[in-house]
Amino acid sequence: MDNPASRKGVALVIGAGDSTGSAIAARFAREGYIACLTRRSADKLEPAVERIRAAGGQAFGYGSDARKEEDVIALIDQIEKERGPIEVMVFNIGANVPSSILEETARKYMKIWEMAAFSAFLNAREVARKMVARGRGTILFTGATAGIRGSANFAASISV
């Protein structure tokens, strides 16, 4: 029997949290993609993976630290080998950590920058390498209002 998910390829959602990321993965699965969801703790992905499967979609969860280059490279290679070509990558890591600029520390600021900006670069670069070699693919970045408009007590978030 022909499997429509196999025809569409993989939709990789980096930062598949309980809300937006999981909803994005579910939508791609409904459209016939194999949804690959990631976040630092793979066990936190199980409810979303099970919901997608219960609705008839294909989904797999992966624990990965999107800020670590070697983890990102290994993740992309593993998914391409085990699940198929990544046709769509959605970067959805939230880096909205409240703190007044008067209380913000350089260490916390750098962690937020790693989550929001550096990890976006790493993941997009690695997926783009595969997509460019195939001559196709889509990379999407999600955001929230904080990404375009500052707010009190989000000093680091408005600068990335």
pLDDT tens by residue, 104-125: 899 988 998 998 899 999 999 9
CA distances in angstroms from 54 to 1, 15, 29, listed in the order given: 20, 21, 11
DSSP state of 77: H
Q: In 103-152, at which residue ranges do the beta strands (DSSP E only) sit?
A: 138-141
Helical ranges in 9-118 per DSSP H: 20-30, 46-54, 69-82, 106-113
Report how far residue 54's alpha carbon sits from residue 146's, in angstroms, rounded to the nearest whole number. Answer: 34
pTM: 0.87
Predicted confidence (pLDDT) per residue in 50-70, tens digit: 999 999 999 999 999 999 999
CATH topology assigned to domain 4-159: Rossmann fold (3.40.50)
The predicted structure's pLDDT at residue 154: 65
For 13-45, write each residue's pLDDT tens digit: 999 988 899 999 999 999 999 999 999 999 999
Q: Measure the CA–CA gap between 84 and 77, rounded to whole angstroms.
A: 10
Cα(158)–Cα(100) distance, integer angstroms:
12
Query: In the chain, where are the structural domains located?
Result: 4-159
